[in-house]
Amino acid sequence: MRSHLLVTNDFPPKVGGIQSYLWELWRRLPPEDVAVHTTPYEGTGAFDADQQYTVSRTREPWLLPYPWLPRRVERLARDHGAELVVWDPALPVGLAAPRVGVPYAVLLHGAEVTIPGRLPLLRPLLGHVLRGASLVVSAGGYPAAEGERAAGCELPVLQVPPGVDTGRFVPLGDAERASVRRELGLPVDAPLVVGVSRLVPRKGMDTLVRAVALLAEREPDVVLAIAGAGREHDRLQALIERSRAPARLLGRVEERLLPGLYGAGDVFGMPCRTRLGGLEQEGFGIVFLEAAAAGVPQVAGSSGGAAEAVEHGETGLVVDDPSDVEAVADAIGQLLADDERRRRMAAAGRDRAVREFSYDVLAGRLRAGIDDANLRS
C-alpha cells in the first residue's frame, strides 16, 4: 500500500463518532504503511503502545494551522517515507496542507464542510484546500456534494461512509429481546420504539416524543426508549411529562448494553432535521446502520446523509418533513402495524449492513483509493 501519514484532531482513546470511524478504518490498513499524528488525551500511552503503526502526539491540545505545523508534518512524512498526507478535517487544520511539500488528501464528514462552505469569508479558504487535494475522502454523498459546491468544481472524491461492526450489532431472538428489556426496565411485550442519539435539537428527539404521544392514542401499549445525553435532556423530560408520552430517557447506556437495546426494539427512530438555513444537517447517521445490523427497521428524517443510511421503503422509511409530528407518527405506526413488512425490512437492512457497511469492506475501498490517487505535487 502507498505509505501515508494521517494528521487529525480526532483519534482514540478520545471517544466519538469520528474517532471510531478513523480507528476502525486505519487499524485495518497495513501497519507498516501507516503513521498517525494527533493530539494528546488521557490514556494515550497505553493505547498508542498497543497499536501496530506509529502514533505521535502533539504538545498542543489542538491541531490548528500553526505557522510551525507544515515543517513538523513535512519532517514526520519524510521520517515515515510517506508519499501522501491525509488531513482531517479539511478546516481548520487542513489549511496547512498546501504549505507542506507532500501531496495531500482531505477527509470530509459533514458540519466541518457545510458551515464554512456556506459562509462567504470561509468558503474561498475551504475551496483552495479542496482544489489542491489529490484525494477527497468523503463520509457519504452529502459531504462530497457540499465539498464540490464549496470548491466550485468536480473533485477526486472517494466515498467511504461510516461502517458498523456487524459481529457486535446482531438481530436478537425472542428470549434475548425479553432479557434485554427486563435489564433496562422496559415492558417485555409492548411495541417498542428505540432512539439513540446525542440529545441536541438537530436529532429531532422532541418530534419523536410528540409522535409517540400521538401514536399512543391509537396504539395504547406503545413505548419509546431514548438512550443518550446532551443539552436537550431537561427540555425533553419536561415535554414527556407535559404530553404524557409513554417515553423514557435512559441516559447514557453502557456500551455492553447498546447492541441489545437496538435489537430489543421493534422500530428505531431518529427524525433528524436540517437547521439554521442548512448549516446544521445530519452527516450520515451511523445509528441507522447499527439499527439495521441489529435487524430493526428505521424511521429517519430527510436531512443531510440520513437518506443514504436508510433506503426508503427497503430498510426503513424516510420522512420528507421531519418536523411534521403526524408524518413521523404515521411512519412509525405503519411499521408497528405490519409484522411482515418489518420482517422484510429487518432482513434487507441486515443484509445491506453486512454487504456494504462492514469495516473490512470499507477499509478495502479506502486502501484502493489511496493507492489509485493521482498525486499532485
- Which range of residues forms the domain containing residue 368? 4-163+359-372
The Cα 56–Cα 252 span in angstroms is 31
Residue 280 is predicted with a pLDDT of 66
With H, G, I as helix, E, B as strand and everything else as coil, classify residue 65. Answer: coil
Residue 121 is predicted with a pLDDT of 85
Are both 150 and 253 inside the same structural domain?
Answer: no
The Cα 144–Cα 154 span in angstroms is 10
Are both 219 and 292 inside the same structural domain?
Answer: yes
Asked whether the beta carbons of 137 and 107 are under 8 A apart, the reply is yes
With H, G, I as helix, E, B as strand and everything else as coil, classify residue 129. Answer: helix
CA-to-CA separations, 292 to 91, 96, 221, 268, 322, in angstroms, rounded:
32, 39, 24, 9, 20
Are both 144 and 180 inside the same structural domain?
Answer: no
Helix orientation angle between 17-26 and 359-372, rounded to the nearest 10 degrees: 70
With H, G, I as helix, E, B as strand and everything else as coil, classify residue 140. Answer: coil
The Cα 87–Cα 70 span in angstroms is 12
318 forms beta bridges with 300
What does the pLDDT profile of the chain (377 residues) look like in tens digits? 999 999 999 999 987 778 889 999 999 999 999 999 999 998 899 999 999 999 999 999 999 999 999 999 999 999 999 999 999 999 999 999 999 999 999 999 877 787 777 788 889 999 999 999 999 999 888 889 889 999 999 999 999 998 998 999 999 999 999 999 999 999 999 999 999 998 999 899 999 999 999 999 999 999 999 999 999 999 999 999 999 999 999 998 988 999 999 999 999 999 998 776 655 666 668 899 999 999 999 999 988 767 888 999 999 999 999 999 999 999 999 999 999 999 999 999 999 999 999 999 999 999 999 999 988 86
Residue 207 is predicted with a pLDDT of 97
∠ CA 107-201-219, nearest 5°, is 120
b/e for 6-23, b at 16 or more Cβ within 10 A? bbbbbbbebeebbbbbbb
Are both 285 and 207 inside the same structural domain?
Answer: yes
Asked whether the beta carbons of 222 and 216 are under 8 A apart, the reply is yes
Asked whether the beta carbons of 327 and 215 are under 8 A apart, the reply is no
With H, G, I as helix, E, B as strand and everything else as coil, classify residue 71. Answer: helix
Are both 43 and 157 inside the same structural domain?
Answer: yes
Q: Name the CA dihedral angle for 38, 43, 47, 48, rounded to a multiple of 10 degrees.
A: 40
The Cα 271–Cα 209 span in angstroms is 10
CB atoms near residue 340 (< 10 Å): 7
Are both 142 and 178 inside the same structural domain?
Answer: no
Are both 143 and 246 inside the same structural domain?
Answer: no
Are both 303 and 155 inside the same structural domain?
Answer: no
The Cα 280–Cα 258 span in angstroms is 26
The Cα 216–Cα 202 span in angstroms is 24
168 found inside a domain: no
Asked whether the beta carbons of 87 and 113 are under 8 A apart, the reply is no
Are both 114 and 184 inside the same structural domain?
Answer: no
What total of structural domains would you count in the chain?
Answer: 2
Amino acid present at 234:
D
Q: For the domain that residue 213 is a member of, what is the CATH number?
A: 3.40.50.2000
Comparing C-alpha atoms, which of 163, 106, 91 is closest to residue 138?
A: 106
Q: What is the pTM of this model?
A: 0.82
Are both 147 and 252 inside the same structural domain?
Answer: no
76 found inside a domain: yes
Residue 302 is predicted with a pLDDT of 87
377 found inside a domain: no
341 found inside a domain: yes
Residue 283 is predicted with a pLDDT of 65
319 found inside a domain: yes
Place of cell 409513554: 246
200 found inside a domain: yes
Are both 338 and 194 inside the same structural domain?
Answer: yes
The Cα 149–Cα 117 span in angstroms is 7
- Which ranges constitute the DSSP H helices of 108-151? 111-117, 123-131, 141-151
Name the DSSP class of 302. Answer: S
Are both 66 and 213 inside the same structural domain?
Answer: no
CA-to-CA separations, 218 to 173, 213, 334, in angstroms, rounded:
27, 10, 12
| Cell numbers standing for residue 172 | 436478537
Residue 17 is predicted with a pLDDT of 77
169 found inside a domain: no
